[in-house]
Structure 1
């Protein structure tokens, strides 16, 4: 398989392992988990991880799913950008980068939707539940179609988000590009990759966080009483709401601020996860003899 496939797969899996603890908090905050009266932020944080197993809640599906998703994302992005720049004779610019990223994000829909669905339900389950058990329950009760519940809002989120992901990373590398006549150390170039990757992650989540809140609440709904997540109110009739109904209900709950609940935690997670992901991706591409950004030529000169 292509170099960008393996670079994307490995970097995606590493990102999930690093970021899962904070992702659990983010998802639970989005699904109405908030501080109760007299509860401190520190107490709330400790409650999220009452046991060691909480640190890895819902990781099985993302490690497999996001590895494949990241691989598909980078392959689709690279091929789309090449087609836009060459096939359609469009000059390379930040807007073609955004469009290629949006196409790449949309291409991940088939993997992203079931992965997100299973992850959310595992992280919101009232008792520890494995990703495999949740998957089997969905298939038994709803069939394959059940794995794609919330697919429309997930596809919209991914398309917009990954457009800004590649756009902001490319913009960062252009701003931090060093003139060829200026020599820089390997550590400086590595720091640039980490910083550009981290900022790209923050920019991405900031651009689509309200959509992610809606997606989480949509996918957290389940008709299976045995796996009813934290979001569900047992007094309500078991009818799953659409994205627009969920958005209106959330707005009535707490106004506009509800769509940004958990953004701080998410931004911290996004910076570190995407810094490591981009650094891993660039390093693997270099080791496999591929160049993905101009920083690679600088890295090569230091690694000889």
Structure 2
């Protein structure tokens, strides 16, 4: 049987990931609401104008908290998703390190994982979190797209009511609409965690100089930068995933099982035929604006808690 120390070590990643997920929601959900609406907007205005309108309309209508429409599922669910994502990431890293897979010893001071190993751990962590993430993201997308000011005018009163509608129209598996898109999207965590480690190693070269950052500052910088790398690669798959999840928007969900879930290929063809290649990158500007601060803070919390909880080091 594993020792108590080993069990605690395996739990530090999920615990730190849970806190990271809550941080990400607090910092980034308002931007995410704007990104979701911008992705479906047909207004031929510039991205900056669309982003300004997205922020100004809630203030003019329902106040600042309108930006947090649909925040209930991610507030609870995102913490669970990041607990699985970052917890499995930590354990995949430990597995590779303990088994000497994709390791190196460039300085003669001990084995460490290669950059490819960090990316591979991120890839499998992303795929591991996909079954849990899909229904939570589905509810979030459906709730964010409701722009009616009055609750009585909205089709869904909340996440539970939304889930009930989806199951009535598509069955229980309807909650996993967009799962194939979610798998492709989450496979791009390969780039995030590879980029994070590459940035941390790059910043470590400043050690001993006037510009040497503290570990926390390095986590903030590397986390924000890694998120930009991630979204540059992942945004087309996120666009397809969200369109699969929003179907048949702007039409309301039917009350009976009369809806056919769109396939990934059909959605990709629809986006390309209507908007061309640029359609796959709609919402990228507000996505970048959201990604850097929310992920910088999330990485800061995650890495800081790993150190505070005494987790076994997987990065050097």
TM-score, with normalisation over the residues of structure 2?
0.81
Aligned with residue 51 of structure 1, among 59, 62, 72? 62
Aligned with residue 31 of structure 2, among 22, 32, 41? 22
Alignment partners' CA distance in 2, 1:85 and 1:174: 18
Alignment partners' CA distance in 2, 1:138 and 1:28: 20
Q: How many residue pairs end up in the alignment?
A: 284
Question: Deviation digits for residues 93-144 of structure 1, max 9, x if unmatched?
Answer: 1111111110000000111110111110001124354222212222333332
Aligned residues: CA RMSD: 2.8
- SS of 1:290's partner is coil
Give the aligned partner of residue 166 of structure 2.
138
Residues 192 and 242 (structure 1), Cα distance of their counterparts in 2 relative to 1, 3 Å cut: same
Give the aligned partner of residue 66 of structure 1.
78
Residues 93 and 225 (structure 1), Cα distance of their counterparts in 2 relative to 1, 3 Å cut: same
Give the aligned partner of residue 123 of structure 1.
144
Q: Is the 8 A contact 1:35 1:44 kept in 2?
A: no
1:261 equivalent to 2:282? Answer yes
Alignment partners' CA distance in 1, 2:210 and 2:303: 17
- SS of 1:18's partner is helix
Aligned with residue 165 of structure 1, among 177, 192, 196? 192
Residues 224 and 44 (structure 1), Cα distance of their counterparts in 2 relative to 1, 3 Å cut: closer
Question: Deviation digits for residues 248-288 of structure 1, max 9, x if unmatched?
Answer: 11112121111111101101110000100011112212221
Residues 184 and 4 (structure 1), Cα distance of their counterparts in 2 relative to 1, 3 Å cut: farther
Give the aligned partner of residue 233 of structure 1.
none
Matching of residues 171-186 of structure 1 within 5 Å:
171-178=198-205, 182=208
1:9 equivalent to 2:27? Answer no
In the alignment, structure 1 segments of 5+ residues that lack a partner are 229-236, 296-304
Give 1:169 deviation, angstroms. Answer: 0.3
Alignment partners' CA distance in 1, 2:45 and 2:192: 35
Q: Is the 8 A contact 2:122 2:193 kept in 1?
A: yes
Alignment partners' CA distance in 2, 1:224 and 1:142: 17
1:203 equivalent to 2:229? Answer yes
TM-score, with normalisation over the residues of structure 1?
0.84
Question: Deviation digits for residues 224-266 of structure 1, max 9, x if unmatched?
Answer: 96558xxxxxxxx964421111111111212111111110110
Q: Is the 8 A contact 1:282 1:292 kept in 2?
A: no
Give the aligned partner of residue 280 of structure 1.
301
In the alignment, structure 2 segments of 5+ residues that lack a partner are 1-7, 104-112, 152-156
Alignment partners' CA distance in 1, 2:144 and 2:215: 37
Q: Is the 8 A contact 1:3 1:288 kept in 2?
A: yes
Residues 60 and 215 (structure 1), Cα distance of their counterparts in 2 relative to 1, 3 Å cut: same
Matching of residues 33-44 of structure 1 within 5 Å:
33-35=42-44, 40-41=49-50, 42-44=52-54
